[in-house]
C-alpha cells in the first residue's frame, strides 16, 4: 500500500473516542460566539443601531458645518444664532455614542 494513500485515509476518518471530543469542540464553538458575556447577534444589533443613529445625526451635522460649505463655495443651508453649539452637541453624540465600542476597547 502506498504510504501517502494511507495518510490521506487517516485524515478523513473521525478522531477515535466516545464522542466527548466532538461535544467539547461544540462547547468551545458556543463559547467562541460569545464575547464578554454578550451574544454576537446582540453585538451586531448594537452596532447596527449605533450606525443608523449616528448616520441620522450626520445629516444635520453636515448641514450646520459652515466650514464645509465655504470650502465648496456655497452658503450653508442652515444657519442660526447658536448653531455652533448645536453642531458641537450633535458631533459629541456621534463621537461618544457611535464610537463607544471602540473607545471602550482602548481600555481593554
Measure the CA–CA gap between 20 and 8, rounded to whole angstroms.
24
Per-residue model confidence as pLDDT tens digits over 29-66: 555 455 555 689 999 999 999 999 999 999 999 999 99
Report the DSSP beta bridge partners of residue 35. 38
Predicted pLDDT of residue 23: 52
Instruction: Write the secondary structure of 45-87 as one string of H (helix), E (strand) and C (coil).
Output: HHHHHHHHHHHHHHHHHHHHCHHHHHHCCCCCCCCCCCHHHHH
What is the per-residue pLDDT for 74?
A: 94
pLDDT for 95 beyond 90: yes
**Average confidence score pLDDT of the chain:** 79
> Among all chains, which residue has been given the C-alpha cell 463559547?
31
Q: How confident is the model at residue 17 (pLDDT cuts 50, 70, 90)?
A: low
Amino acid at each position: 500500500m502506498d504510504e501517502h494513500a494511507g495518510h490521506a485515509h487517516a485524515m478523513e476518518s473521525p478522531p477515535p473516542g466516545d464522542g466527548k471530543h466532538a461535544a467539547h469542540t461544540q462547547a468551545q464553538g458556543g463559547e467562541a460566539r460569545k464575547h464578554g458575556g454578550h451574544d454576537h447577534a446582540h453585538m451586531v444589533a448594537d452596532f447596527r443601531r449605533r450606525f443608523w443613529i449616528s448616520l441620522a445625526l450626520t445629516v444635520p451635522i453636515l448641514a450646520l458645518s459652515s466650514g464645509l460649505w465655504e470650502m465648496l463655495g456655497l452658503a450653508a443651508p442652515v444657519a442660526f444664532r447658536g448653531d455652533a453649539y448645536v453642531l458641537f452637541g450633535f458631533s459629541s453624540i456621534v463621537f461618544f455614542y457611535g464610537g463607544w465600542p471602540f473607545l471602550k476597547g482602548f481600555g481593554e
